[in-house]
């Protein structure tokens, strides 16, 4: 099969490993770790995997480790580096014992349940080194939650002699990995479970986990494009570009892209919610920048909007929730003959405040909220093109300001959505090295008999040789949370914290970015060769959260 | 001002020049060249600049060239490399005489007419080396066509002592450059005019000009994204991605991206027109691939659509033309009270065939054609989201095939438009070298007293040192063409030729790309460092048109 030149070059790239992983290893047991909250409840739920110590993997004697059969699963959405976790795991297992075998479960967690698998051979692994995508074994969104699933998984593991599973996923998948580890331990089934932190959204991080793999690459792809669009804006001088970015729950991607590109206006969902901003407030932020720049003769600009923005605007989230309550299970509503009847029905059902919000929405968006529903009858929030909604509302306000003589500029717009473009890029050197090291570390934890751990690499802003490998007990990252009406133990999704450095840096600079100073940055495409500071540096977020001073 | 690491690195990149330009030069006069057609008419229209010889710039003695003041103009849409033409021109002028000066006219051709300019100093030029965008002096779309404009330009040239202008633009801008050169020559105004071939669309090329600068970079940016989206498609296995690409007149961009990424379905407007394909035929091409792949269990794929597709489908172009005729200047139409009245009016005005096409369009698109009009009352073809139109029509047809039991798959879609993302990227090494060389060559032509030429670099698939610099008379590339009812001398826009190698390669392979073989290519991001074959190679189009065998 034909390959591009860059693919051929990337296949032979040797990911950098922490120095401690290069020869023999020894596992050093650290302090017993416990979650910050809900300790008693979690201890009861996870008697076998609670209260485990933190682990670090350090250089040690070359030794004879056992041959082990391991299964690996990709879970959830694509993130650059997935193939490298697998190749790191494969190389690690072989490093410790050349007779170890690795099986890939096909199409995600369902592969384990339905016994779809493939033994990963050398040439298959070599074909995927440092490439993007999850196409090597595929991924899926099946949730491992039931005893039946666990038992079915155990059966295939028994058949294949698999004594350890590695689950590569986000917060939910690692929550499930934790439950699975506990189940197999509680029932003495002889199957270890190790998790690896994956998600471009960057919302799987905490006191122990500095970042998830994929975030670095995805943000760099988006930032390249935003930078290009900004350079187009400042050259053509006639368009405001509205860019919606993937990330429904947390705004880490949007924040990171803002730090990399310095656009005129950026919204961080977590701030919108914390400050209780209305849709009108959001629109005013844009209008302010457009008017100031327009009156200075700069009729162009950039606005970054996180995909999930709408749901973080309190009045909108209230409206959506009322809409869902009103109609999701209403037989009566569904029987109404015309769209007008439906709209009237909804109007009657809404609270006065929500009715007011609803009536201020542009016609098309109101229709979408009223009529386009998912199979459960719920509003399809992900279909709302927030950037277009904002453009309409901003235009309306500018028209008024123009009539009043407050605004002298012109407002033409282009809208963009960047999402799928970043999930399957070739990983950056950082993500290639990091995810490979995560896989290699998982192998170390496995040969040392550990279960219920997440593979962990710290000091990520240092050069890779200085990275510190280890393991964090999955239970240590858990807390209790209400999900669909039930209290459940879950790994907390990490939202943008308004008192952390990345947000504070943005906050301290955004006024200058919004005004008529030209402060755009142009990050350019991801580079794999050339100066280290260009090719190996990671995100602004990580640099601000964990400045490099580990010496 | 803050700069990104890549910007800092690119500022110090030294573009490669043809070996012949590195020291002294001599201009070698080749054969007298004439256009292929309309010779007599063109000779009459351009008595002073017709029938000039082809020129090549070759190594020569170091000599003393005169100090010259030159003006430079960016015209039309952005293309990566614009800044490098300017820096190449600047360096070239200084190379030949350090007392030469370069003025930039601000905001495009209107800067010349309205006397808006800036003298380009060393530090300004240094700030823009190898960067994307046209923000250094700005661009504009004013057409230089009238005697008043030419005289106004001459006045400011006289004031600044400018004896040569360099116009960087596409086919239209170079047509105007030709007329301007003739006017200044005919009136002995002492102002030389040199053109440079710019456009991401790749449609300014001919027997003499191998490609325009910017095409290489833009196509690589789009191909990176298409490759990423394809890797996402084959990983997630659940979406067909429809990608619309910039390029309204010619489909070179779409063809080049197809050659770089091998998507399942690609449309080339020129072929659609040549084969007289209907909208239905176009839809069937997609349906065929979707059905075959879907029935093989592959419910994902990619479709590339050139921006201008609609206008190349004969029945659609007929419909649009009839719509424009029917209503663009109709007082009666504009006075109709409701949208329904307007639609009825249109229905009456259309020919039976066009009425049929109109009625088969999805509701929303028909509305757009009927009601959304530009200030002249014309259909706004550029607003039609062709990829969404195709998705609707394909879905409808698949539904029917499913009912008939012919199709067993599922069809979920994501649509993209890539355009602004590629116009202002940092130029590739190829575009950086090529455009710099074009500027440097323009300087050589100027100091040697030439006018009415386009700066020209040939053998572009060879290493840059072997490139051949020269000049082609602008009149030689002209022919007569009907534009807005008038016969005019213009440089022909080069469309995709169906019997040239690039199209033939695509044609020979597209069936395999469309079926269930997995033949996607993943070109990855533009690289500036590292192996030459990755960093310096140009487009597939150029490699197929001008294979490297110049030895």
What one-character-per-residue DSSP string does A66-126 give? Answer: PP-EEEEEEBSS--TTHHHHHHHHHHHHHHH-TT-EEEEETTTHHHHHTT-EEEPPHHHHH
Rounded to a whole number of angstroms, the CA Rg of chain A reads: 25
User: Cβ neighbours of residue B155 under 8 Å, at least 6 residues apart?
Assistant: B115
Residue B73 backbone phi and psi in degrees, to 5: -135, 130
Q: Is A99 on the interface with B (CB under 8 A)?
A: no
pTM of the model: 0.97
How large is the average pLDDT for residues B124-137? 98
Supply the DSSP symbol for B276.
T
pLDDT tens per residue, range B312-368: 999 999 999 998 888 776 778 878 888 888 888 888 899 999 999 999 998 888 888
Element (H, E) at B315: helix B314-327
Q: Quick check: B232 and A135 in contact, CB under 8 A?
A: no
Which one of B234, B421, B537 has the shortest CB-CB distance to A135? B234
Which one of A135, A528, A534 has the shortest CB-CB distance to B9? A534
Task: Provide the pLDDT for residue B385.
Answer: 87
Looking at the predicted structure, is the pLDDT value of residue B92 above 70? Answer: yes
Task: Provide the pLDDT for residue B452.
Answer: 98
Task: Please report the residues numbered 509 through 528 in chain A whose beta carbons come closer than 8 angstroms to any beta carbon of chain B.
Answer: 518-519, 521-528
How large is the average pLDDT for residues B525-545? 94
Q: Is B366 on the interface with A (CB under 8 A)?
A: no
The percent of chain B in helix, strand and coil, each rounded to the nearest 5, is: 45, 15, 35
CA dihedral over A442, B231, A525, A271, signed as positive or negative: negative
Please answer yes or no on whether A522 and B224 come within 8 Å at the CB atom: no
Ordered per-residue pLDDT tens for chain A, 551 residues: 789 999 999 999 999 999 999 889 999 999 999 999 999 999 999 999 999 999 999 999 888 899 999 999 999 999 999 999 999 999 999 999 999 999 999 999 999 999 999 999 999 999 999 999 999 999 999 999 999 999 999 999 999 999 999 999 999 999 999 999 999 999 999 999 999 999 999 999 999 999 999 999 999 999 999 999 999 999 999 999 999 999 888 999 999 999 999 999 999 999 999 999 999 999 999 999 999 999 999 999 999 999 999 999 999 999 999 988 887 767 788 788 888 888 888 888 999 999 999 999 988 888 888 777 777 777 787 778 899 999 999 999 999 999 999 999 999 999 999 999 999 999 999 999 999 999 999 999 999 999 999 999 999 999 999 999 999 999 999 999 988 889 999 999 999 999 999 999 999 999 999 999 999 999 999 999 988 989 999 999 999 999 986 44
Q: Quick check: A319 and A356 in contact, CB under 8 A?
A: no
Beta-bridge mates of residue A304: A243, A266
Please answer yes or no on whether B519 and A2 come within 8 Å at the CB atom: yes
Which one of B420, B524, B529 has the shortest CB-CB distance to A4? B524
Q: How far apart (Å, rounded) are the C-alpha atoms in residues A437 and A468? A: 10
In angstroms, how far is CA B69 from the centroid of its own chain?
Answer: 30
Q: Which of A1, A128, A232 to mutate to test the interface with B (most CBs of B within 10 A)?
A: A232
Task: Provide the pLDDT for residue A186.
Answer: 98
Catalytic positions of A are 201
In chain B, whose CA is at the least distance from the CA of A108?
B236
How large is the average pLDDT for residues B504-531? 96
Closest approach of chain A CAs to the CA of B433, in angstroms? 18
Order the strands of the B69-74 sheet from edge to edge.
B24-32, B53-60, B468-473, B453-458, B192-197, B162-169, B69-74, B101-105, B117-119
Task: Please report the residues numbered 299 through 318 in chain B whose beta carbons come closer than 8 angstroms to any beta carbon of chain A.
Answer: none
Long-range CB contacts for residues B270-275, cutoff 8 Å, separation at least 24: B270/B312, B270/B495, B270/B496, B270/B497, B270/B498, B270/B503, B271/B496, B271/B498, B271/B503, B272/B309, B272/B312, B272/B313, B273/B312, B273/B313, B273/B314, B274/B498
B279: helix, strand or coil: helix
Closest approach of chain A CAs to the CA of B14, in angstroms? 15
Which one of B2, B77, B235 has the shortest CB-CB distance to A133? B235
Please answer yes or no on whether B424 and A10 come within 8 Å at the CB atom: no
Q: How far apart (Å, rounded) are the C-alpha atoms in residues B302 and B266? A: 8
Closest approach of chain B CAs to the CA of A29, in angstroms? 38
CB atoms within 10 A of CB A69: 17
Q: Which of B3, B4, B217, B430 to mutate to test the interface with A (most CBs of A within 10 A)?
A: B4
Phi-psi region of A374 (alpha: psi -120 to 50; beta: other; left: phi over 0): beta
Compute CA distances B445 → B81, B115, B162, B393, B472, whole Å.
Answer: 20, 25, 15, 54, 11
Q: How far apart (Å, rounded) are the C-alpha atoms in residues A516 and B319? A: 45
In angstroms, how far is CA B504 from the centroid of its own chain?
Answer: 21
Nearest-5° Cα angle at A125, A122 to A127: 110
Beta-bridge mates of residue A415: A242
Task: Provide the pLDDT for residue B551.
Answer: 45
Q: Is B344 on the interface with A (CB under 8 A)?
A: no
B326: helix, strand or coil: helix
Nearest-5° Cα angle at B516, B239 to B245: 50
Q: How far apart (Å, rounded) are the C-alpha atoms in residues A339 and A331? A: 15
Q: Is B9 on the interface with A (CB under 8 A)?
A: yes
In chain A, whose CA is at the least distance from the CA of B4?
A523
CA-wise closest residue to B454 among B151, B55, B79, B77: B55
Looking at the predicted structure, is the pLDDT value of residue B371 above 80? Answer: no
CA dihedral over A140, A146, A152, A153, signed as positive or negative: positive
Q: Quick check: B43 and B51 in contact, CB under 8 A?
A: yes
Compute CA distances B403 → B104, B407, B408, whole Å.
Answer: 64, 8, 9
In angstroms, how far is CA A235 from the centroid of its own chain?
Answer: 33
What one-character-per-residue DSSP string does A279-295 give? Answer: HHHHHHHHHHHHHHHHH
What does the block give as tokens for A129? Answer: 């080194």
Residue A156, CA atoms < 13 Å, CB-side half-sphere: 24
Taking CB atoms and an 8 Å cut-off, how many pairs form between chains A and B? 187
pLDDT tens per residue, range B342-351: 888 888 899 9
What does the block give as tokens for B86? Answer: 């300017």
Looking at the predicted structure, is the pLDDT value of residue B222 above 60? Answer: yes
Q: How far apart (Å, rounded) are the C-alpha atoms in residues A279 and A256? A: 23
What does the block give as tokens for A169? Answer: 């996923």
CA-wise closest residue to A515 among A294, A242, A306: A294
Q: Is A385 on the interface with B (CB under 8 A)?
A: no
Q: Is A427 on the interface with B (CB under 8 A)?
A: no
Please answer yes or no on whether B228 and A421 come within 8 Å at the CB atom: yes
User: Cβ neighbours of residue B156 under 8 Å, at least 6 residues apart?
Assistant: B112, B115, B117, B162
Q: Is A505 on the interface with B (CB under 8 A)?
A: no
In chain A, whose CA is at the least distance from the CA of B3?
A521
Q: Is A85 on the interface with B (CB under 8 A)?
A: no
Closest approach of chain B CAs to the CA of A187, in angstroms? 34
Closest approach of chain B CAs to the CA of A312, in angstroms? 25
Listed in order, strand segments (DSSP E) in B379-516 are 413-418, 453-458, 468-473, 478-483, 486-491
B112: helix, strand or coil: helix
Please answer yes or no on whether B420 and A232 come within 8 Å at the CB atom: yes
What one-character-per-residue DSSP string does B355-393 give? Answer: HHHHHHS-HHHHHHHHH-B-TTS-B-GGG--HHHHHHHH
Task: Provide the pLDDT for residue A549.
Answer: 66
Task: Provide the pLDDT for residue A362.
Answer: 87
Which one of A9, A235, A537 has the shortest CB-CB distance to B424? A235
Please answer yes or no on whether B525 and A262 come within 8 Å at the CB atom: no
Q: Is A530 on the interface with B (CB under 8 A)?
A: yes
What does the block give as tokens for A240? Answer: 């405001």
How large is the average pLDDT for residues B476-501? 94
Helix axes A314-327, A339-349, angle to 10 degrees: 120
Q: How far apart (Å, rounded) are the C-alpha atoms in residues B323 and B325? A: 5
Order the strands of the B301-306 sheet from edge to edge.
B265-266, B301-306, B240-245, B413-418
Closest approach of chain B CAs to the CA of A77, in angstroms? 8
How large is the average pLDDT for residues B12-41? 95
In chain B, whose CA is at the least distance from the CA of A517?
B1
Using a CB-CB cut-off of 8 Å, the residues of chain A touching B537 are: 5
CA-wise closest residue to B250 among B303, B212, B279: B212
Q: Quick check: B455 and B193 in contact, CB under 8 A?
A: no
Q: Is B4 on the interface with A (CB under 8 A)?
A: yes
Please answer yes or no on whether A132 and B231 come within 8 Å at the CB atom: yes
Using a CB-CB cut-off of 8 Å, the residues of chain B touching A388 are: none
β-strand A53-60 against A468-473: which pairing, if any?
antiparallel
Q: How far apart (Å, rounded) are the C-alpha atoms in residues B110 and B116? A: 8
Supply the DSSP symbol for A61.
-
Task: Provide the pLDDT for residue A439.
Answer: 98
Nearest-5° Cα angle at A422, A458 to A251: 65
Looking at the predicted structure, is the pLDDT value of residue B470 above 60? Answer: yes
In angstroms, how far is CA B161 from the centroid of its own chain?
Answer: 33
> Which residue among the candidates B201, B203, B216, B431 is catalytic per the annotation?
B201
Task: Provide the pLDDT for residue B391.
Answer: 97
pLDDT tens per residue, range B178-197: 999 999 999 999 999 999 99
Instruction: Using CB atoms within 10 Å of the CB of residue A165, give its burial: 0 to 12 exposed, 13 to 18 middle, 19+ buried.
Output: buried
Task: Please report the residues numbered 223 through 282 in chain A whose beta carbons come closer than 8 angstroms to any beta carbon of chain B.
Answer: 224-225, 227-229, 231-232, 234-237, 239, 241, 260, 262
Residue A84 backbone phi and psi in degrees, to 5: -75, -30
Task: Provide the pLDDT for residue B549.
Answer: 66
Please answer yes or no on whether A425 and B537 come within 8 Å at the CB atom: no
Q: Is A536 on the interface with B (CB under 8 A)?
A: no
β-strand A240-245 against B265-266: which pairing, if any?
unpaired
Using a CB-CB cut-off of 8 Å, the residues of chain B touching A531 are: 5, 9, 529
């Amino acid at each position: 099969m034909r390959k591009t030149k860059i693919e051929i070059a990337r296949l032979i790239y040797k990911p950098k490993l922490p120095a401690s992983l290069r020869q023999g290893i020894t596992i050093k047991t650290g302090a017993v770790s416990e979650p910050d909250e809900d300790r008693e409840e979690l201890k009861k739920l996870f008697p076998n995997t609670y209260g485990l110590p933190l682990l670090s993997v350090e250089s040690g004697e070359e030794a004879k480790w056992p041959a082990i059969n391991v299964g690996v699963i990709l879970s959830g959405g694509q993130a650059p580096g997935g193939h490298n976790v697998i190749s790191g795991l494969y190389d690690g297992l072989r490093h410790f014992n050349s007779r170890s075998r690795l099986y890939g479960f096909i199409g995600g967690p369902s592969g384990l349940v339905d016994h779809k698998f493939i033994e990963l051979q050398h040439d298959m692994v070599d074909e995927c080194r440092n490439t993007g995508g999850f196409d090597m074994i595929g991924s899926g969104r099946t949730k491992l939650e039931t005893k039946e699933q666990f038992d079915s998984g155990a059966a295939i593991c028994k058949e294949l002699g698999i004594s350890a599973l590695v689950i590569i996923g986000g917060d939910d998948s690692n929550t499930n990995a934790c439950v699975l580890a506990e189940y197999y331990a509680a029932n003495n089934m002889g199957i270890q479970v190790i998790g690896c932190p994956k998600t471009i959204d960057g919302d799987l991080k905490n006191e122990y986990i500095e970042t998830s793999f994929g975030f670095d690459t995805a943000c760099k792809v988006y930032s390249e494009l935003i930078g290009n669009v900004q350079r187009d804006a400042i050259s053509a001088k006639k368009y405001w570009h509205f860019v919606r970015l993937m990330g429904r729950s947390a705004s880490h991607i949007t924040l990171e892209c803002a730090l990399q590109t310095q656009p005129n206006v950026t919204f961080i969902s977590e701030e919108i919610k914390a400050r209780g901003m209305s849709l009108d407030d959001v629109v005013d932020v844009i209008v302010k920048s457009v008017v100031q720049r327009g009156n200075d003769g700069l009729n162009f600009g950039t606005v970054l909007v996180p995909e999930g923005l709408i749901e973080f605007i309190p009045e909108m989230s209230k409206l959506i929730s009322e809409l869902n309550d009103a109609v999701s299970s209403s037989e009566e509503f569904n029987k109404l003959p015309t769209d007008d009847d439906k709209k009237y029905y909804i109007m009657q059902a809404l609270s006065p405040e929500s009715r007011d919000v609803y009536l201020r929405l542009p016609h098309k968006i109101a229709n979408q909220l009223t009529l386009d529903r998912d199979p459960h009858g719920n509003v399809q929030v992900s279909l709302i093109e927030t950037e277009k909604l904002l453009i309409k509302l901003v235009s309306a306000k500018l028209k008024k300001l123009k009539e009043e003589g407050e605004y002298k500029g012109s407002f033409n717009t282009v809208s963009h959505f960047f999402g799928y473009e970043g999930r399957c890029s070739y990983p950056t050197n950082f993500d290639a090295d990091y995810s490979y090291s995560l896989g290699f570390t998982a192998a170390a934890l496995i040969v040392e008999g550990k279960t219920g751990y997440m593979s962990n690499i710290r000091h990520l802003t240092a050069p890779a040789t200085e990275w510190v490998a280890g393991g964090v007990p999955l239970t240590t990252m858990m807390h209790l949370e209400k999900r669909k009406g039930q209290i459940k133990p879950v790994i907390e999704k990490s939202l943008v914290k308004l008192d952390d450095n990345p947000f504070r840096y943005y906050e301290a600079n955004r006024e200058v970015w919004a005004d008529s100073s030209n402060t755009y940055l142009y990050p350019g495409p991801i580079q794999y060769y050339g100066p280290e500071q260009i090719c190996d540096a990671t995100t602004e977020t990580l640099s601000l959260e964990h400045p490099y001073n580990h010496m």
